[in-house]
Amino acid sequence: MNIYVKELRSHRKSLIFWCIGVFLMVVSGMAKYTGLSSSGESLNDLFTDMPKSLQVIMGIGTFDLNKASGFYGLLYIYLLLMGTIHAAMLGATILAKEERDKTSEFLFVKPVSRTKIITAKLLAAVTNIVIFNLVTWISSIEVVGKYAEGEAVNGDIAITMIGMLFLQLLFMVIGSAISALKKRPKTAGSLAAGILLLTFVLSVAIDLNESIKFLKYVTPFKYFEAKNMMYGGGFDSGFVVLTIILFAALTAVTYVFYKKRDLNV
Amino acid sequence: MNVIEIKNLTKTYGKSRGISDISFNVEEGEIFGFIGPNGAGKSTTIRTLLSLIYPTSGSATIFGKDCIQFAPEIKREIGYLPSEVFYYDNMKVKDLLKYSASFYKKDCSKRMKELAEIMDLDLNKKIDDLSLGNKKKVGIVQGLLHEPKLIILDEPTSGLDPLMQQKFFELLEEENKKGATILFSSHILSEVQRLCNRVAIIKEGKIVTVEKISTLKENNYKKFKVETKVPLNKEYFNLSGVNNVAVKDNTTSFLFKGDINTIMKKIAAIDITNLWIEEPDLEEIFMHYYEKEPRKL
């Protein structure tokens, strides 16, 4: 319990900054919508004139950009990137920082098992992640609702935010597993971020190139895509199960390897 | 009863570092010195005892329990002061100590204040702003505040000024009197000599000897220097136990090991003007353990 509280306290400041950041992202993102929609031109026409690859890179896909919900769908990928980067870095550093800051000779000589330390730290990370998710969710409902002009957006926001939570948790354990596996865990954070960007680029590549579609199982960014989940699409149960399996496996890796490993002291 | 029992403990990593086949016991209530040059494996041994790292082979027990299997339980009664102290920088000393205390199921606040007073430590400062010596003090208070039965110190005096060292040693002796066992690792001989009952000498990852401090000194030569009015015959001190006789003008010097009475009678029989008998300091005793063996070609 004391470790959990300590971890919450030491991540409080960074969490506040992340939350402010994501709130500003929602606000500024949706502000573009008013800017563009009030110009009179149909946004859809504007974007469909773009080359296909550019559309894909911007994440436009099949969204109806004349609607607030469509614009939110476009914005979602950026919220998702923020959420997952936050989660991956958090998962990696929450374990690795004891070794990085050389405080392991303090914490790990206390009468607690490594298992309990990992549990407390992961719970603190999950708490941070849930708070980040809720802040994003509430900001989205408030801000998108303002532009919705009667269009029902809350349901779509809800489903995408639950999808985002799945991915946040997945990237958190990717990060923690890396710091458990690496002998020199100082670089765990940057490696986790690297993997995240790689899988993101892969997800864009898949959109660009139909022939590598089979790789969609490799990149979590294909698991919960706004264009598939919104407008009644819902979750793809296969991807949900896959996420849960990966989450469980990587959590197990975190525990098993971090318990067995020599600490860097 | 043995508080620490180390059996054939081996830890290898990389090529040169590590320890091999270390065995020794620390008895209840003693102050046990663990001495050797830098990089000999003192910290590696201690970190293995604390299950920060795991042995390649061999085992160790603390309070009769395996130090890995029962680590959390054992650690309730261990106070540890690492050689380099690092703490969460943005915390206040007070908060860090409270956090440390929160791991033990007893009220440590009174002892915490006492210790801070003895060590002259300002509890309201941020860890970040502390000097090396003051951080070390935080480490000392942190390691002792739960009144552990076993205190493990890894080069504890680095960074402390002589006055603080003095206070710290007094504190340790007091804890020892109350029943605490102390494992004191150091490369400074004088502090080991002052505090410890027994020592283990470690060199290049291996235990060279485990000995009582008093025996170490007893088993050794005394240095004699005799000044006479006329130069002595070199053969005069030719008896067993005498070595390295050197006559230089009126002074004769030699090393002696054996019954002190025989040599004193021999000296009493001649007319001398001055006499020096010197105890070899531990420094000299240890030096031959310390010296690296010449490299085999």
What's the confidence (pLDDT) of residue B189? 79
Residue appearing with tokens 């791991």: B103
Contact B71 A2 (CB under 8 A): no
* Domains with residue ranges and CATH for chain B: 2-217 (3.40.50.300), 221-279 (3.30.70)
Measured CA angle at A176 (ends A139, A257), to 5 deg:
160
- A105, A116, A261, best to mutate vs chain B, most B CBs in 10 Å: A105
How distant is the Cα of B56 from the closest Cα of chain A, in angstroms?
11
Contact A102 B54 (CB under 8 A): no
Distances (CA, A) of A27 to A13, A147, B211: 21, 11, 74
| B222-228 β-sheet, strand order | B242-248, B251-256, B222-228, B272-278
pLDDT > 80? residue A111:
yes
Contact B52 A103 (CB under 8 A): no
Token digits for B136? 């070390």
Of the candidates A6, A10, A102, which has its C-beta nearest B86's C-beta? A102
Which residue on chain B is closest to A97 by alpha carbon?
A: B88
| B31-35 β-sheet, strand order | B78-81, B150-154, B181-186, B31-35, B198-203, B206-212
Q: How confident is the model at residue B297 (pLDDT cuts 50, 70, 90)?
A: very low
If we measure between CA atoms, which residue out of A152, A119, A151 comes closest to residue A7?
A119
What's the confidence (pLDDT) of residue B15? 63
- Give yes or no for a contact between B35 and B186, defined as CB atoms under 8 angstroms apart: yes
ipTM of the complex: 0.83
Q: How confident is the model at residue B142 (pLDDT cuts 50, 70, 90)?
A: very high
Helix count (H) and strand count (E) of chain B? 10, 14
What's the confidence (pLDDT) of residue B295? 46
Of the candidates A6, A109, A263, which has its C-beta nearest B80's C-beta? A109
What's the confidence (pLDDT) of residue A23? 95
Average pLDDT of chain B, as a whole number: 87
Of the candidates B71, B76, B104, which has its C-beta nearest A113's C-beta? B71
If we measure between CA atoms, which residue out of A195, A156, A169 comes closest to residue A69?
A156
How distant is the Cα of B75 from the closest Cα of chain A, in angstroms?
5
How distant is the Cα of B100 from the closest Cα of chain A, in angstroms?
8
**Entry field: residues in chain A:** 265
HSE-CB at A32 with a 13 A cutoff on CA atoms is: 12
Which residue on chain B is closest to A116 by alpha carbon?
A: B72
Domain ranges in chain A are: 2-260
If we measure between CA atoms, which residue out of B62, B164, B59, B188 comes closest to residue B116?
B164
At residue B105, the 3 state secondary structure works out as coil
Say which amino acid occupies A182: K
- A8, A108, A109, A112, best to mutate vs chain B, most B CBs in 10 Å: A109
Chain A partners within 8 Å of B51 (Cβ): 108
Q: Which of A162-176, A237-251, B76-90 has the lowest mean pLDDT?
A: B76-90
Residue appearing with tokens 């339980």: B73
At residue A160, the 3 state secondary structure works out as helix
Q: How confident is the model at residue B296 (pLDDT cuts 50, 70, 90)?
A: very low
Q: Work out the average pLDDT over B3-11.
A: 93
Strands (DSSP E) contained in chain B are: 2-12, 18-27, 31-35, 57-62, 65-66, 78-81, 150-154, 181-186, 198-203, 206-212, 222-228, 242-248, 251-256, 272-278
What's the confidence (pLDDT) of residue B76? 93
Contact A108 B50 (CB under 8 A): yes
Of the candidates A103, A111, A260, which has its C-beta nearest B73's C-beta? A111
| CB-count exposure of residue A84 (10 Å: 0-12, 13-18, 19+) | buried
Of the candidates B54, B73, B99, which has its C-beta nearest A6's C-beta? B99
